[in-house]
Amino acid sequence: MTPVVLALIIANVVVFGLQGMVGDAVIANFALWPVGSFTDADAGVTVGFHVWQLVTSAFLHGDTTHIALNMFALYMFGRDVELSLGSRRFAWMYGASVLAGSLTQLAVVTANVDESVVPTVGASGGVFGVLLAFGVLFPKRRVMLIFPPIPMPAWVLVTGYAVIELTSGVLGTQQGVAHFAHLGGMVGAALVLFTRRRPQPPGINP
């Protein structure tokens, strides 16, 4: 396993363990809440958006299945992406995906806030950024979904996921899933992948 992928998986698992020990206080303070002031019925405290939640929410998860699926996808696709980009650029890309996903989700939930306010948690923004990078870097690599078990090129998988997320987000299907965070994560990864480094002047070592 590559170092950044391993560090991310360990960090998510450790935080998930702490989340189980501390309980609702972690969600109240570190999950991503809409802009405003609200009452969290579970914790019985006033909650709202704080800037650190753009990052911390990506290390919280709703349940064991949620974190297991995210970490499995990060493990499956992250290794080859990190080997291709290098650990430093991979870390930048993952961070950009998390921030872009959180900002997109924040804008959507704040614009559509109602009395049933719920927070957003999960590493899916970063994971979907990794998925996009995999499709860009290895477009012809054959991959297979768990369901349905049909082999397909990576670019087809990534395109299909993007279309499904956009359609589900616009139509409001699959309530409780942060579709726009997933799309934002893909956009964040694309910004890093398609930003070329400026060439150094002759005679100057990078």
Q: Is residue 69 part of a domain?
A: yes
Strand, coil or helix: 149: coil
Q: Is residue 205 part of a domain?
A: no
Q: Is the pLDDT score of 100 beyond 80?
A: yes
Q: Is residue 198 part of a domain?
A: no
pLDDT tens, position by position, 142-192: 887 766 678 889 888 889 888 877 777 666 555 567 788 889 999 999 999
Domain count, the chain: 1
Beta bridge partners of 152: 143
CB 1 within 8 A of CB 77: no
Q: What residue numbers bound the domain in which 102 lies?
A: 3-193
Q: How far apart are CA 155 and CA 158, in angstroms?
A: 5
203 in any annotated domain:
no
pTM of the model: 0.86
Instruction: Return the structure tokens found at 9.
Output: 């998986």
118 falls within a domain: yes
What pLDDT, on the 0 to 100 scale, is given for residue 112? 77
CATH number at residue 149: 1.20.1540.10
Just list the catalytic residues.
Answer: 124, 182
The whole-number average pLDDT for the span 115-128 is 86
Answer yes or no: is 113 within a domain. Answer: yes
pLDDT reading at 201 higher than 90: no
Is 204 a domain residue? no
Is 102 a domain residue? Answer: yes
Q: Is 114 helix (H, G, I), strand (E, B) or coil?
A: coil
